[in-house]
Amino acid sequence: MSERKTISDSKKAFYNAFSSVIPPIYRRVTDELLVELHLLSHAQDFEQGAIFAVGLCKVFDAFTRGYRPEKHLVSLFEAICMSNGFDPVSLRDKSIKTHKAIKGYSFNEISLFLKTNGVDAPKILANDIRALSKGNKQYSRLITIGLLSLLEESTLDNKSEKELINSQIKDICVAYGFSIDRVERDIKQFITNLEKIDQALELFKESVTYERKKKESKASKVTDESNIMNNKKSTDLETNRVNNT
């Protein structure tokens, strides 16, 4: 039997796989996903289903917006997953295929097959929904976020529909045997953290703009001073020439 890995082992594996410096604004989501996937990797009744894959990718993509250099995002996602024994390529592929599979379904149709044991659901979701409907699977907030993402796929972005989505998620999670209090808390925290990341990115943009203008102003001042000095030298030379004439 292989030795059970600790969170320290997972983090060591992560940093061996991803040696680039992570900007401060993105360290929290990295740490949270590392810990969460580590815990799930030891849960015997946990399955890496389509809804989980959608939720994981949704969280990663939402909280790494604005990451620079952008080309590091693929290797960052891979390192987070692989350090805990998850297959990043398979999970990303499953998420993409799931979103494609539900295109064309209405909000009511998606809500219905999520609540009714996967009846009439796309094949990629059907088995996952049936497994969750048994009510004995390991809970993860990433599953809740996955459900949120699927329901958002068929709705417009307005307050009334967001309230409808939250209501439907509660009904769905009751069918899966999840704690409503925990589901509500996870959704609220997800939305709050999204707002925080938006604010942080806005402040970062303002800071970058301010520093750029500051440098431009300083460069302009140096240029002006240089021009003044050059003009003074030219005037002095002209004066000397006239005096010597």
Structural domain boundaries in the chain: 7-202
In 3D, which of 114, 106, 108 has the Cα closest to residue 175?
114
Which letter does DSSP use for residue 116 in this model?
T
Asked whether the CA dihedral 191, 197, 201, 206 is positive or negative, the reply is positive
| Whole-number pLDDT of residue 87 | 97
Q: CA nearest 148: which of 129, 130, 166, 135?
A: 166
Which of the residues in the chain have pLDDT under 50?
1
Task: State residue 1's pLDDT score.
Answer: 37
Q: What is the pLDDT of residue 97?
A: 97
Structure tokens at 133: 């409907």
pTM as predicted:
0.82
What are 19-75's pLDDT values in tens digits?
999 999 999 999 999 999 999 999 888 889 999 999 999 999 999 999 999 999 999
pLDDT tens-digit profile of 187-200?
Answer: 999 999 999 998 98
